[in-house]
Amino acid sequence: MNGRLKLKLVYDPRYNSDLSVLGIKVPFALDRGQRVLDELAAKSGATVPYCRPKPLTKRDLLLVHDEKYLESLKHPPNWQSVFGLAKAPESNEETRKAVRKLLSEIRLKSGGTYRAAKAALKSGLAANLGAGYHHAFADRADGYCSINDVAVAIRKLQAEGLCRKVMIVDVDLHQGNGNASIFRGDPDVFTFDIHALEAYPQKKEKSSLDIAISDDERHLYQERLEEGLQKALEAFSPDLVFFIQGSDPYVKDVGVGFRYLRLTLEQLKKRDQFVIDTCVNRGIPVALVFAGGYGPNVWRVHYNAVQHMMDKSVA
């Protein structure tokens, strides 16, 4: 990384997947990348440039995922468990086509995470306006996540010799159990995870540093985050931070059963600025990905973080 910070945004209009054919009714905020770009353009009075990613290849996915598991994703009925559907999608021409399209969009969004990380290593700051599939395990899907974009990006960057030591800073409402499992015991990858104790997943994995906030401690959120991240960065010096910026702790998030933390927009702004500023002040490149967030309001949480990165970036 050279000394000057320059923010790179990564996005593609195809991030806005149509999930209706498979019967998926979860209120994902898949238009949030576009909404963030629109708001940035409205505020600055100019179109905001972004670069389009390339989809990850099967070879890339095999750096983390099991081949048999990847094959299983081609069959529509197997998406029942990914999205917790009441009924398994039938296997017919229409659903097989929908699954092929969905998988290609997920590979594209995951390629965006790799692209953002490469850009961050070069110029300090980058954001992929989507992805953040932190519940995906090496050999199974979980919590709406099938391909673990951050894990594959880390393994690909390491294989290419672009970085070695990586920290994941995950502030999504839910614990990033996929990443915790994939990187458990890996001395080169530190997983820092602050999440709601009572929220899904009921069975948490062990991250390098977990901060589980119980409902009666939610007023201590920022304090616990600050203490924890400083402790993590004293213990581990990363070449790169992946910032999994979930917006589902937002009080206006509409995800089913997401009644924990209930942070305000201002509290989330403070959270995200703290993570970004802490890394920038230490000279650590930051690649942000959006992660969890549901309903029509969560894009504002992401907008504030991307705007803050833009303010740090040289014109």
List of residues contacting Zn ion (CB under 5 A): 172-174, 246, 248, 292
Cβ-based nearer residue to Zn ion, 40 or 182: 182
Tracing tokens 């990165």 back to the chain, one arrives at 309
Least distance in Å: CB of 149 to Zn ion?
A: 14
Least distance in Å: CB of 26 to Zn ion?
A: 11
How far, in Å, are 9, 13, 54, 258, 299 from residue 37 at the CA level? 9, 11, 20, 26, 10
Cβ-based nearer residue to Zn ion, 178 or 238: 178
CB count, 10 Å around CB of 18? 12
Cβ-based nearer residue to Zn ion, 76 or 178: 178
Least distance in Å: CB of 170 to Zn ion?
A: 9
Tell me the residue type at 269.
K
Least distance in Å: CB of 27 to Zn ion?
A: 13
Least distance in Å: CB of 95 to Zn ion?
A: 26
Least distance in Å: CB of 263 to Zn ion?
A: 13
Cβ-based nearer residue to Zn ion, 29 or 48: 29
Strand order in the sheet with 166-170: 6-10, 124-128, 286-289, 240-244, 166-170, 189-196, 209-213
Are 279 and 309 a contacting pair, CB within 8 Å?
no
Least distance in Å: CB of 70 to Zn ion?
A: 23
Cβ-based nearer residue to Zn ion, 124 or 176: 176
Cβ-based nearer residue to Zn ion, 15 or 50: 15
Cβ-based nearer residue to Zn ion, 8 or 174: 174
Least distance in Å: CB of 171 to Zn ion?
A: 10
Cβ-based nearer residue to Zn ion, 50 or 242: 242
